[in-house]
Structure 1
């Protein structure tokens, strides 16, 4: 019963729509009606600005971290990654938002932070590097996700100081999350091919958002 209750709690934590709530309470805007219509960090930055976007980024990461930590805090003998999955599902299909949520990039990062801080730092560094090279959040997210997935297999062999042991559940989840991220970014991929995808004012190719 405790396990089921904590799974539900993890899902509810993921369902907290940080961008929507901050937009409504502090800016009197529903970010779903502006920009890409997405409820996540990138659209929050685009619609509400840096302060709100940064707050949503940290809150979405925190959702994944807290949810993944639940079985550790409550002494359950179950892989904590499953609770991270519950938070990711909550973020993507939130009960508080008619099951229409974000793309789960930040929440997935929060899951990694709870599971392995060193691997989280490695993964975050990859994202920052590719964001600097492309100035495009969507492209950086997809490329990073692919490399992170490969890294779950390679690092335990060649760099165990970053990721100590092989966990096939982590690898399986990384594959699933990567595929999901790519699918959810299909409209972004079309805009990237057409050269119309919005860029951030950061990195080698920075420009004003369209």
Structure 2
């Protein structure tokens, strides 16, 4: 019973639509009606401002981290089940939220939170990739897509050299592949806009792909 309750709690934790609720309660704006229509941190930044965006980012990140910590907490102390299962449920909750008519965000921050709770050094590598791509191309979407591909590359290559990941962990690799796939699927429309040079840009960086759309 403890396992079932913890799994359900992980999903519900991930389902908290922080951007949607903050937008409605504090700014009286429905994020579904502004910008990309997404309720994640990126659209919150663009629609509600930097402070709200940072708050939503931190909450979404911590949803993944706290979910990973659930089976090790004093509330449950569950043995024999990987904490990554709970993290994955939080990611699914974030993208298919029961509190938002089974809609949600693009899973970048929450996936990062899962990795932060399980393998923080690997997250640092992904963060470096994210920041480099952001500076070069001025697109959060492309940075997220690149980090997803970098995660797949990392789990395939790093253990062979005992760099960051000391050994191959098939279950961690599976979870990384699933989370990366979710991120890539959720960014399909962004990929189309990038191809058409119409993707939204942050107000800094080099915009090396020469996108035309600016916020």
TM-score, reference length from structure 2? 0.92
Picking from 154, 157, 161, the partner of 2:157 is 154
Aligned alpha-carbon RMSD (Å):
1.6
2:91/2:179 contact within 8 Å kept: no
1:159 deviation in Å? 3.7
Whether 1:66 and 2:71 are equivalent positions in the alignment is: no
Picking from 114, 117, 132, the partner of 2:117 is 114
1:176 deviation in Å? 2.1
Once residues 175 and 120 of structure 2 are traced to their aligned partners in structure 1, the CA distance between those partners, rounded to angstroms, is 17
Once residues 204 and 161 of structure 2 are traced to their aligned partners in structure 1, the CA distance between those partners, rounded to angstroms, is 32
For residues 6-47 of structure 1, the C-alpha deviation after alignment (integer angstroms, 9 at most, x for no partner) is: 000000000000101111121111111100000101100110
2:91/2:110 contact within 8 Å kept: yes
Q: Which residue of 2 aligns with 1:105?
A: 108
Deviates further, 150-159 or 115-124 = 150-159
For residues 84-128 of structure 1, the C-alpha deviation after alignment (integer angstroms, 9 at most, x for no partner) is: 011011001101001000110100000000001111212112111
Whether 1:163 and 2:165 are equivalent positions in the alignment is: yes
Once residues 63 and 156 of structure 2 are traced to their aligned partners in structure 1, the CA distance between those partners, rounded to angstroms, is 26
1:208 deviation in Å? 7.5
TM-score, reference length from structure 1? 0.94
Once residues 208 and 190 of structure 1 are traced to their aligned partners in structure 2, the CA distance between those partners, rounded to angstroms, is 13
Give 4+ residue runs of structure 1 displaced > 4 Å after superposition. Answer: none
1:201/1:208 contact within 8 Å kept: no
Picking from 192, 211, 214, the partner of 1:209 is 214
Once residues 58 and 111 of structure 1 are traced to their aligned partners in structure 2, the CA distance between those partners, rounded to angstroms, is 13
